[in-house]
């Protein structure tokens, strides 16, 4: 018993180490939120690029090829490697680690988000677009008023899922020596020669963070769905 409290004391209390976890959590959240926003912006743009249909008898547009290549490359390579490439090659001269990491994760996430959004738009019944067009509304008007609001409902659960994956994926920023929650925990464990408390502690913090996020998403989804059935 005494042993456990000593370990707890060493892992969290001494030298105000708990503050390091909080700082680490701050870095994790900062990167995840920034990357999430970048991912959604890229995802929307890329999804629209991939959805642009070629006129009959024509080939796909240049945009379509660019978007397809982007998604293929990002999905076809490990995200750790993408992070290392961004850090040591593309932005080798930058010293804003958080920003470079956010950009790297954002570009990575954008590929997955674009596929989610594309699928969400395609899942809206074709008849909705036809009905809008038959009334004289333009394609853009029908998209904005009818298709996208319905697609939004479709994509919310998988986007939430993607964001949760993203939060945990940021744990690899230790590779480029950023002090996120995971790296803080592992550094403390190597200082105290005791792995259990810091690692389980960090795991609990991730778990609580994601549980809160999940509950928020579920509440939001319930509210959206209410408008369907009245």
Partner 1 sequence: MISVKNLKKNFNDHEVLKGISTEIDKGEKIAIIGPSGSGKSTFLRCLNLLEEPDSGEIWFEDQLITDPRTDINKVREHMGMVFQSFNLFANKTVMDNITLAPVKLGLKTADEAKQSALELLQRVGLTEKADSYPASLSGGQKQRIAIVRSLAMNPKVMLFDEPTSALDPEMVGEVLAVIKDLADSGMTMVIVTHEMGFAREVATRVMFIDEGIIMEENEPVKLFTDPQTQRLKDFLSKVL
Binding flag, residue 229, partner 1 (CB under 8 A): yes
196: phi then psi, degrees, rounded to nearest 5: -55, -60
Binding flag, residue 136, partner 1 (CB under 8 A): yes
Minimum distance of partner 1 from residue 56's CB (angstroms): 7
Binding flag, residue 16, partner 1 (CB under 8 A): no
Residue in 52, 77, 94, 134 binding partner 1, rule: CB under 8 A: 134
Nearer to partner 1, 148 or 176 (CB): 148
Binding flag, residue 58, partner 1 (CB under 8 A): no
- CA pair distance 170, 115, nearest whole angstrom: 21
- CA pair distance 190, 194, nearest whole angstrom: 7
Binding flag, residue 149, partner 1 (CB under 8 A): yes
The closest alpha carbon to 166, from 109, 118, 82, 210, belongs to 109
Burial of 186 (0-12, 13-18, 19+ CB in 10 A): middle
Residues 150-189, interacting with partner 1 (CB under 8 A): 150, 153
SS (H, E, C) 112-153: HHHHHHHHHHHCCCHHHHHHHHHCCCCHHHHHHHHHHHHHHH
Residue in 19, 72, 88, 145 binding partner 1, rule: CB under 8 A: 145
Q: Which stretch binds partner 1 (CB under 8 A): 65-73, 123-131, 154-162, 169-177?
A: 123-131
Binding flag, residue 56, partner 1 (CB under 8 A): yes
Count of residues of this chain found to bind partner 1 when the rule CB under 8 A is applied: 23
Q: Count the alpha carbons within 13 Å of 93 in the hemisphere toward its beta carbon.
A: 0
Q: At what angle do helices 148-169 and 18-51 cross, to 10 degrees?
A: 140
Binding flag, residue 68, partner 1 (CB under 8 A): no
Residue numbers at the binding site for partner 1 (CB under 8 A)? 56, 125, 127-128, 130-138, 141, 145-146, 149-150, 153, 227-230
């Amino acid at each position: 018993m005494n042993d456990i409290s000593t370990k707890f004391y060493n892992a969290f209390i001494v030298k105000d180490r708990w503050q390091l976890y909080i700082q680490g959590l701050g870095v994790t959240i900062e990167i995840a939120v920034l990357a999430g926003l970048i991912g959604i912006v890229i995802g929307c743009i890329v999804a629209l690029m991939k959805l642009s249909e070629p006129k009959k008898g024509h080939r796909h547009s240049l945009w379509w090829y660019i978007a397809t290549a982007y998604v293929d490359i990002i999905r076809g390579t490990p995200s750790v490697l993408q992070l290392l490439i961004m850090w040591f090659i593309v932005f080798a001269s930058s010293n804003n680690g958080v920003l470079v990491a956010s950009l790297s994760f954002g570009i990575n996430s954008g590929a997955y988000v674009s596929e989610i959004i594309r699928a969400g738009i395609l899942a809206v019944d074709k008849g909705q677009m036809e009905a809008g067009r038959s009334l004289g509304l333009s394609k853009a008007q029908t998209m904005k008023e009818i298709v996208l609001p319905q697609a939004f409902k479709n994509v919310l659960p998988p986007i939430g899922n993607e964001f949760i994956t993203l939060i945990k994926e940021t744990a690899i920023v230790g590779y480029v020596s950023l002090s996120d929650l995971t790296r803080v925990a592992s550094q403390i464990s190597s200082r105290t020669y005791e792995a259990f408390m810091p690692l389980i502690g960090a795991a609990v913090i991730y778990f609580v963070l994601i549980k809160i996020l999940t509950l928020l998403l579920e509440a939001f989804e319930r509210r959206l769905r209410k408008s369907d059935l009245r």
